[in-house]
């Protein structure tokens, strides 16, 4: 593993701990407004200062980690499982299944810019955490499906698969016991980059008012609330802290993804 | 020929999906638009005017009293056909609120979005090519590391963080540029930098690895051996070959740019398609506008991708042959 991926893993571990132990780390109330305390600069009582309604930014950033990671983990897990199933079907059986799936379905999903499809879905379904997760899964699974299809196409020609078939193994056994475990490595890279993408998409949709409804402490919502001119003038830290939180999380998952890719592909290691 | 057929099929599906999207709205769109206070008469009138009283599709499977579903043919006079007809008539249906043809609204806003996307692309390319070449040429040095940090920052900082930060620095603190709107030529600077930042970061990384790869090729050794200056080797030979994969990425990223423009336009109040979608469409629950905007952006994206593919084939004869 290279240095950057170790930094990435460390950051993710810290964010994970923060998210799990949020109520013990941030003792201030995330929703309590107090106009007499608004626009406070970072100080001993409010480590990250307060926002335009006097809420504690540190507590909101800490609890925001929960939302981000929750969305990221669910979206990546569901997309990866669904994508793997469809990709494996297309790659293993080929023929008309592959023509319909990879020739048509994948292309249709890729014909929309991902974020636009998510925005459209949430716009029509209505805002909310579950709908947001659903929309992100809808745009997410195709990437995994295409990846796994390519991998399965390659692995299915290997000798050990032919040997298993000669021994009388059934399709399901060949696919799940022999092919998939050997095809799944790049999925880990994709999943790591997918976490970065999901965290970013959640924040983007929440920023647009289509994700987690305020006053929930989503990082995207916090940035949306902090960008009016009077808040920018009086309390730029209200923008900076959630911004740094998003950037660090995305950066960390990108570091891990890049590091894993390099680790798994020795040709890149030399570069 | 097969590619064109595929393209037609994809466009048809995209239009169909967009057409049926409005069926996802929970409850009655008429109530959502007119509000709870509307009288039954007003609601009925609204449904009639926008075709919402007609069946959604050619067939449906409603439940009977016992809860079982039965197939029912609903005929040709349905909303799906209506929307196709409105597309072929060139009006994309009428706005639920202003009653104006959605196509006119899109046409008014389209140039602003394209202007923003092109400006962002130009900024991204003009930063990425020199920076990527510099980093690739001086691999492993301080210059390379600085370029890498820049690229990583650009990738991880989302536009809705960069945008307000730029507003804070250049509008609030320095007072050089206005924080929003599209009135003066200088108003495009902040939005296009915001939108182009991520792309310039991605392209910098692409150009860098492309240059590194090409520098190891035989023709570079030949060019150096015949006494060409390093400048000529890099800019006349390496860059020409190294840019081919970069062109593809630019084409593929155009969709990301168009989708990203939705967020950037909201940050800066830039009156393009994105603002139309978010404020007039989603904000005011004018679902016809949402349908029209999603369709316009998707079709632009598909067209851009197909164009990239053609340019790619033209640039690299090896792909044409295979």
Query: Which of B6, B11, B156, B170 should we substitute to test contact with A (largest number of A Cβ atoms within 10 Å)?
Result: B156
Confidence of residue A268 (pLDDT cuts 50, 70, 90): low
CB contact under 8 A, B164 and A226: yes
Lowest mean pLDDT across A160-174, B21-35, B205-219: B21-35
pLDDT beyond 80 at B194: yes
C-beta atoms of B156 and A247 within 8 A: yes
Task: Please name which of B234, B240, B237, B246 lies closest in space to residue B136, comparing C-alpha atoms.
Answer: B234
Chain A interface test: which of B164, B278, B305 (most A C-beta within 10 Å):
B164
Question: Is the model's pLDDT at A78 over the cut of 90?
Answer: yes
- Considering only residues 268 to 307 of chain B, which have any Cβ-Cβ distance to chain A shorter than 8 Å? 277-278, 281-283, 287, 290, 294, 297-298, 301-302
Q: Cα–Cα distance between A184 and A186 in angstroms, integer?
A: 6
A70 and A57 Cβ atoms separated by less than 8 Å: no
Residue owning tokens 């449904």: B47
- Tokens in use for B220? 């570079």
One-letter-per-residue 3-state SS of A196-263: HHHHHHHHHHHHCCCCCCCCCCCHHHHHHHHCCHHHHHHCCHHHHHHHHHHHHHHHHHHHHHHHHHHH
Interface ipTM: 0.83
pLDDT, residue A269, reads: 56
More confident residue, A271 or B57: B57
Mean pLDDT, to the nearest integer, of A261-266? 76
Range with the poorest average pLDDT among A159-173, B199-213, B305-319? B305-319
Contact A124 B172 (CB under 8 A): no
The pLDDT value recorded for residue A250 is 92
Residue B253 has pLDDT above 70, yes or no: yes
User: What is the distance of C-alpha B177 from the center of its chain?
Assistant: 26
Q: How far apart are CA A269 and CA B142, in angstroms?
A: 20
Nearest Cα residue to B202 out of B248, B160, B165:
B248
Distance from CA of B221 to the nearest CA of A (A): 19
Tell me the pLDDT tens digit for each residue of B102-121: 999 999 999 999 999 999 99
C-beta neighbour count of B159 within 10 angstroms: 26
- Report pLDDT for A54: 79
Instruction: From B49, B55, B46, B61, select the one nearest B81 (Cα to Cα).
Output: B55
Looking at residue A86, what is its pLDDT? 93
In 10 A of CB B12, how many CB atoms? Answer: 12
pLDDT at B104: 92
Per-residue pLDDT of B51-105, as tens digits, reads: 888 887 788 887 788 888 888 888 888 888 888 888 888 888 888 888 899 999 9
Residue whose token pair is 């830039």: B270
**What crossing angle do the helices spanning B142-156 and A237-264 adopt, rounded to 10°?**
120
Give the nearest chain A residue to B259 (CA atoms).
A116
The reported pLDDT for the residue numbered A271 is 47
Average pLDDT over residues A64-89: 94
For the residues A106-112, what does the mean pLDDT come to?
Answer: 83
On chain B, the residues whose CB falls within 8 A of the CB of A227 are 160, 163-164, 167, 267
| Residue-level pLDDT at B319 | 61
C-alpha closest to that of B256 among A118, A189, A75, A188: A118
pLDDT at A23 over 80: yes
Residue B22 has pLDDT above 80, yes or no: no
Among candidate residues A109, A112, A86, A110, the one with its CA nearest the CA of residue A98: A86
Contact B6 A103 (CB under 8 A): yes
CB–CB of A224/A207 below 8 Å? yes
Which percentage of chain B shows pLDDT scores above 70? 98
Give percent above pLDDT 70 in chain A: 97
Residue B316, pLDDT above cutoff 80: no
Tokens 């540029």 belong to: B177
Helix (H) or strand (E) holding B195: helix B189-215
Q: What per-residue confidence (pLDDT) applies to B93?
A: 85
Cα–Cα distance, B204 to B306 (Å, whole number)? 24
A124–B302: do the CB atoms touch at under 8 Å?
no
Q: How far is A116 from chain B (nearest CA, A)?
A: 6
Q: How far apart are CA B274 and CA B117, in angstroms?
A: 11
Q: Which residues pair with B73 in a beta bridge?
A: B59
Residue-averaged pLDDT of chain B: 84
- Chain A: residues touching B (Cβ < 8 Å): 103-104, 107-108, 111-116, 119-121, 123-126, 196, 200, 203-204, 207-210, 220, 223-224, 226-227, 229, 232-233, 236, 239-240, 243, 246-248, 250-251, 254, 271
CA distance A248 to A244: 6
Rounded Cα gap, residues B263 and A113, in angstroms: 13
pLDDT in tens, A224-247: 888 888 888 888 888 899 999 999
Which two three-digit tokens encode residue B285? 């629950």
Task: Indicate yes or no: CB of A204 within 8 angstroms of CB of B155.
Answer: no
The per-residue pLDDT for range B208-246, each reduced to its tens digit, is 888 888 888 888 888 888 888 888 888 878 887 777 777
Q: Would the pLDDT of A66 be above 50?
A: yes
Q: How much of chain B exceeds pLDDT 90, in percent? A: 16
Convert the pLDDT of each residue in A184-235 to its tens digit. 888 888 899 899 999 999 999 999 888 888 788 899 999 988 888 888 888 8
Contacts of residue B34, Cβ cutoff 8 Å, sequence gap at least 6: B42, B43, B46
Q: What is the C-alpha separation between B31 and B280, in angstroms, rounded?
A: 17
Question: Rounded distance, CA A45 to CA A43, Å?
Answer: 6
Distance CA A107, CA B2 (A): 14
Q: B235-239: which pairs have CB atoms within 8 A and are 24 or more residues apart?
A: B235/B133, B238/B211, B238/B214, B239/B129, B239/B133, B239/B211
Phi-psi region of A4 (alpha: psi -120 to 50; beta: other; left: phi over 0): alpha
User: Measured between alpha carbons, how far is residue B82 from residues A102, B44, B78, B294, B315 in Å?
Assistant: 31, 18, 6, 18, 43
CA distances from B317 to B239, B244, B305, B312, B313 (A): 17, 11, 19, 9, 6
- Are the C-beta atoms of residues B202 and B125 closer than 8 Å to each other? no
pLDDT per residue as tens digits for the range B152-172: 888 888 889 999 989 888 988
Instruction: Name the nearest CA neighbour of A146 among A230, A83, A54.
Output: A83
Q: Is the peptide bond before A145 cis (omega within 30 degrees of 0)?
A: no
φ, ψ (nearest 5 deg) of residue A57: -70, -35
Output the six-digit token pair for A73. 């983990």
Pair B303, B14: CB distance under 8 Å: no
Q: Which residues of A touch B283 (CB under 8 A)?
A: 209
């Amino acid at each position: 593993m290279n240095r950057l991926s170790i930094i990435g893993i460390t950051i993710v571990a810290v964010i994970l701990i923060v998210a799990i132990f949020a109520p013990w780390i941030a003792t201030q109330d995330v929703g309590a407004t107090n106009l007499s305390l608004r626009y406070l600069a970072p100080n001993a009582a409010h480590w990250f200062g307060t926002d335009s309604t006097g809420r504690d930014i540190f507590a909101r950033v800490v609890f925001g980690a929960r939302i981000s990671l929750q969305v990221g983990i669910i979206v990546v897990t569901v997309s990866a499982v669904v994508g793997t199933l469809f990709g494996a079907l297309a790659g293993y059986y080929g023929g008309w299944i592959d023509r319909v799936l990879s020739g048509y379905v994948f292309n249709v999903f890729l014909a929309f810019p991902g974020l636009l499809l998510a925005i459209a879905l949430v716009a029509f379904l209505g805002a909310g955490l579950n709908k947001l997760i659903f929309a992100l899964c809808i745009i997410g699974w195709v990437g995994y499906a295409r990846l796994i299809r390519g991998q399965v196409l390659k692995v299915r020609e290997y000798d050990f698969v032919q040997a298993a078939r000669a021994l009388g193994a059934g399709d399901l056994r060949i696919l799940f016991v022999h092919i998939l475990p050997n095809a799944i490595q790049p999925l880990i890279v994709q999943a790591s980059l997918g976490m970065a993408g999901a965290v970013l998409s959640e924040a983007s949709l929440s920023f647009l008012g289509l994700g987690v409804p305020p006053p929930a402490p989503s990082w995207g919502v916090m940035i949306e609330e902090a960008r009016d001119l009077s808040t920018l003038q009086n309390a730029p830290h209200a923008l900076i802290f959630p911004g740094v939180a998003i950037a660090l999380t995305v950066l960390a998952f990108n570091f891990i993804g890049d590091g894993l890719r390099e680790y798994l592909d020795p040709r890149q290691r030399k570069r | 020929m097969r590619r064109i057929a595929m393209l037609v099929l994809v466009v048809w599906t995209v239009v169909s999906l967009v057409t049926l999207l409005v069926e996802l709205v929970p409850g009655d769109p008429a109530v959502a638009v007119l509000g709870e206070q509307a009288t039954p008469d007003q609601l009925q009138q609204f449904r009639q005017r926008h075709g919402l009283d007609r069946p959604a599709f050619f067939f449906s499977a409603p439940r009977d009293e016992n809860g079982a579903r039965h197939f029912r043919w609903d005929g040709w006079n349905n909303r799906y056909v209506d929307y196709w007809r409105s597309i072929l008539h060139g009006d994309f249906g009428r706005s639920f609120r202003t009653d104006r043809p959605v196509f006119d609204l899109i046409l008014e806003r389209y140039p602003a979005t394209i202007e923003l996307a092109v400006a962002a692309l130009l900024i991204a390319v003009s930063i990425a090519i020199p920076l990527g070449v510099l980093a690739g040429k001086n691999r492993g040095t301080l210059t390379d590391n600085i370029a890498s940090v820049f690229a990583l920052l650009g990738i991880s900082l989302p536009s809705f963080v960069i945008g307000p930060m730029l507003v804070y620095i250049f509008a609030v603190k320095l007072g050089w540029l206005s924080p929003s709107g599209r009135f003066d030529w200088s108003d495009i600077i902040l939005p296009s930098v915001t939108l182009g930042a991520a792309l310039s970061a991605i392209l910098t990384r692409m150009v860098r690895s492309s240059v590194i790869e090409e520098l190891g090729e035989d023709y570079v050794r030949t060019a150096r051996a015949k006494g060409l200056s390093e400048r000529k080797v890099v800019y006349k030979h390496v860059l020409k070959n190294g840019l081919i994969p970069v062109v593809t990425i630019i084409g593929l990223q155009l969709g990301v740019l168009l989708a990203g423009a939705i967020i950037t336009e909201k940050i800066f109040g830039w009156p393009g398609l994105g603002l139309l979608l978010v404020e007039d469409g989603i904000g005011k629950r004018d679902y016809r506008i949402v349908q029209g905007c999603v369709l316009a952006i998707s079709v632009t994206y598909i067209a851009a991708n197909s164009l990239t593919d053609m340019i790619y084939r033209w640039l690299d004869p090896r792909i044409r042959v295979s």
